[in-house]
Amino acid sequence: MTAIAYLVGARPNYMKIGPVLSELSLRLPHVDHMVIDTGQHYDRRLAAVFVEELGLPPPRHVLGIGSGTHGLQTGRALIALERVLLDARPELMIVPGDVNSTLAGALAAAKVCVPVAHIEAGLRSFDRTMPEEINRILVDQIATWCFTHSPEANKNLRREGIGSDRVHYVGNTMIDTLLQLLPRVETSTALERFGLCEGSYVLVTLHRPALVDGPGLVPILAALARLARHVPVIFPVHPRTRNEITRRSLRCERVQFIEPLGYLDFLALMRCAFAVLTDSGGVQEETTFLRVPCFTLRSTTERPITISHGTNRLIDLSSREIERIPSLAADVTPPATPPPLWDGKAATRIADTLSAALTSMEKLECAGSAAP
């Protein structure tokens, strides 16, 4: 049976790949649609809960890669994925985003001659100290199909010598998922549960090792404590961040720390926030669509469209801008319309390309088998 492999490994992967899986499953019911979860995010609150909320089929393979250094995590995933692909022999491997699982999936597929489709191709921060930047560059070089969601991504790929026949400007599949689930977000009781009023609080999400594993975590928490004197601050704490706070016995008075949330509850808090402070790429995009002021605690972003669109601003630890978020956010006037092609139809465009390609492959195989 013809098969398509869909790779997931970290929270954002589910939102990026879910609409594509749904669309291709409808168009190609005769195909075996196989989800592989590397287990890079092994906490249920960061993985399985998204499968349930997005209505995805259970993963066929859960590889249990877990945490570790970048090399160790990528290597384990590569070894495990190669075994799966050699056994299943899919006609296509779809990989989203830029996490270590994404690179491992693309490499494993390339080594066993399975074509790769990369969702969210072409993003560049131009900061090679970020492991994700290396992953992005390598996966795009491997991929047969590079699906982009913004004009600058197309330019980046062209600059790197990737032919236009491999680049497809389709839009943002994360926004497909967001739009699909917005009606259900209305039923979330997150604000009531945490004692929050719409438009009155700052939502915080921080998880990147460069921030939470080093000395920068101490001044961040101090700045959040000062911010919380003036406005409620709610912080769903990533397990990695919580471990560091506990290990170092750090304190952050007045900030409301909560456990990681499912996607619906997190969206509910995000869309009703006065502002969001984050180091996440996906949150930069979601806040852009939701027209919520976003402040990204990084010196670079691979999503400059969120900056040019006027909803996102980069801030760094050397400034006191965390404490000034209420006044800074008050000056933001988000555009009335989202970026081009962030319209909920990105997965449809991807499926147009991939279903046509897969149909062509099947015709070639049939012609080959019928030859004398």
**Residues 141-189 pLDDT 10s:** 999 999 999 999 999 999 999 999 999 999 999 999 999 999 999 999 9
Catalytic residue of the set 207, 230, 238, 309: 207
- pTM > 0.85: yes
Q: Is the dihedral of CA 142, 281, 299, 301 positive or negative?
A: positive
pLDDT at res. 159: 98
Distance from C-alpha of 43 to C-alpha of 336, rounded to nearest angstrom: 37
Distance from C-alpha of 197 to C-alpha of 219, rounded to nearest angstrom: 27
pLDDT at res. 315: 93
Q: Count the neighbouring beta carbons within 10 Å of the beta carbon of residue 73.
A: 22
Known active-site residue 30: no
- Taking the CA of residue 2 as centre, how many other CA atoms within 13 Å lie in the half-sphere pointing to its CB? 18
pLDDT band at 293 (very low <50, low <70, confident <90, very high): very high
Mean pLDDT estimate for the chain: 91
Question: Is a pLDDT exceeding 60 seen at residue 73?
Answer: yes
pLDDT at res. 1: 79
Beta bridge partners of 294: 276, 312
Distance from C-alpha of 87 to C-alpha of 355, rounded to nearest angstrom: 23
Domains and CATH numbers, the chain: 3-171+341-370 (3.40.50.2000), 189-330 (3.40.50.2000)
pLDDT at res. 118: 98
